[in-house]
Homo-oligomer: A and B are copies of this chain.
Amino acid sequence: MQEDKRLLKTLYGLPNEGRPPFWFMRQAGRYLPEYREIRAESGGFMDMCFSPEKAAEVTLQPLRRFDMDAAIIFSDILVVPYALGIGVDFVKGEGPKLDAHDTPERIAMLAVTDVKEELELLYEAIEKVSSELPKDKTLIGFCGAPWTVATYVVEGGSSRDFAKTRKLAMKHPESFQHLIDVLVEASVIHLVAQVEAGAEAVQIFDSWAGVLPEGEYERWCIAPILAITEKFKALCPAVPVIGFPKGAGLRAPSFGLETGVNAIGLDMCVPLDAMKYISEAAVVQGNLDPILLALDKQGAVDRTKQILDAMAGTPFIFNLGHGIIPETPIENVEAVSQTIHAWKP
């Protein structure tokens, strides 16, 4: 059965037969009217995540339109802190607000909870998607990388410079290590539960991999992802892991070797030459610019062809370099999808 799954084959390192597999980050979202409809009748973002019917429905919506090779479960990286008992709220137009854990005292009170029970409804959504997904499509589960999730936990939301988190990590490294350790354990439980519910591959999103200097990067970004990968692979040896170290820059080429992930997602600032170079040692996923996709249909189609041509012959997964933006016209996504389907090496 897995032999029909284009994405899984690429993740196992097999060369693509014809066009590469593709999916889009934040595949389900506000650019789709059918998503906005369900969103409008929901209490809020988290309510949608915890409503198996709705979460499954919006997960499947994009595939009905664009025939991607994978569905990524509709959820958020902040469900893990939520499962740990940290208050998480999505305020419209402001992004996530968390009950900030910014002192050693508050962090000391965090411990691994019964994540599987807390997030049961998410796994129900995955089961639903799994049962409805066409046999040639792959279902992707995910979590945030501990460093990235920790920044939200410490800052209490988004941040521009992560100063509070970096200061806490420097002033109280044992305390920050405790937070990271709890996030590692909880993330492994969450990933494994997603696989048990039907996920066939997982992605670890490290949106803020790019902010740490040498030393801290290895300790807070690389080591926890390696810990997750090792623990996860011990339990789910056949399930491929994609790492997405956004903004890792000069550190992107060695990310795969250092963390043990099966594939590296590259952001839109990685040039094609570097993508090719990195793909000599790893499965690469990337990296169309979401702003180009939103604003310039022909430009996005042209760049898609450039990327496909450059990556021909390597085990490559086409994706965006960052999440799709809400104002993206559907016809642009359609045009890029058709370009990929029509492309021949």
Do residues A250 and B247 form an inter-chain contact, with CB atoms below 8 A? no
Q: A249: which of B158, B247, B289, B299 is its contact (CB, 8 Å)?
A: B247
Q: Is A235 interfacial (CB 8 A cutoff)?
A: no
- Give bound CA distance, A248 to B248, whole Å: 10
Do residues B292 and A170 form an inter-chain contact, with CB atoms below 8 A? yes
CB contact under 8 A between A271 and B250, given known A160-B160, A291-B166, A291-B167: yes
What string of 1s and 0s marks CB contacts (under 8 Å) between A164-192 and chain B?
00110011000000000000000000000
Copies in the complex: 2
Interface positions, chain A 253-302, Cβ under 8 Å from B, are 268-272, 274, 287, 289, 291-292, 295-296, 299
Q: Residues of B contacting A299 with CB < 8 Å? A: 170
Q: Is A108 interfacial (CB 8 A cutoff)?
A: no
Interface contacts beyond A170-B291, A250-B270: sample of 8 additional A-B pairs, CB < 8 Å, sorted by A: A158-B160, A212-B269, A248-B249, A249-B250, A249-B269, A249-B270, A250-B250, A250-B269
Closest B residue to A252 by CB, please name it.
B250
A-side interface size class:
35 or more
Q: Residues of B contacting A163 with CB < 8 Å? A: 291, 325
What string of 1s and 0s marks CB contacts (under 8 Å) between A28-43 and chain B?
0000000000000000
Q: Residues of B contacting A295 with CB < 8 Å? A: 167, 170-171
- Give bound CA distance, A87 to B104, whole Å: 44
Q: Is A93 interfacial (CB 8 A cutoff)?
A: no
What string of 1s and 0s marks CB contacts (under 8 Å) between A92-104 and chain B?
0000000000000
Q: Is A3 interfacial (CB 8 A cutoff)?
A: no
- Give bound CA distance, A295 to B216, whole Å: 14
Do residues B292 and A210 form an inter-chain contact, with CB atoms below 8 A? no
- Give bound CA distance, A206 to B197, whole Å: 47
Q: Is A213 interfacial (CB 8 A cutoff)?
A: yes
- Give bound CA distance, A158 to B161, whole Å: 13
Q: Residues of B contacting A269 with CB < 8 Å? A: 210-214, 217, 249-251
Q: Residues of B contacting A291 with CB < 8 Å? A: 163, 166-167, 170
Q: Residues of B contacting A296 with CB < 8 Å? A: 170
Closest B residue to A288 by CB, please name it.
B213
Q: Is A141 interfacial (CB 8 A cutoff)?
A: no
Q: Residues of B contacting A321 with CB < 8 Å? A: 213
- Give bound CA distance, A321 to B166, whole Å: 15
Q: Residues of B contacting A158 with CB < 8 Å? A: 160
- Give bound CA distance, A335 to B333, whole Å: 55
Do residues A213 and B160 form an inter-chain contact, with CB atoms below 8 A? no
Closest B residue to A218 by CB, please name it.
B271
Q: Residues of B contacting A325 with CB < 8 Å? A: 163
- Give bound CA distance, A167 to B296, whole Å: 10
Do residues A271 and B251 form an inter-chain contact, with CB atoms below 8 A? yes
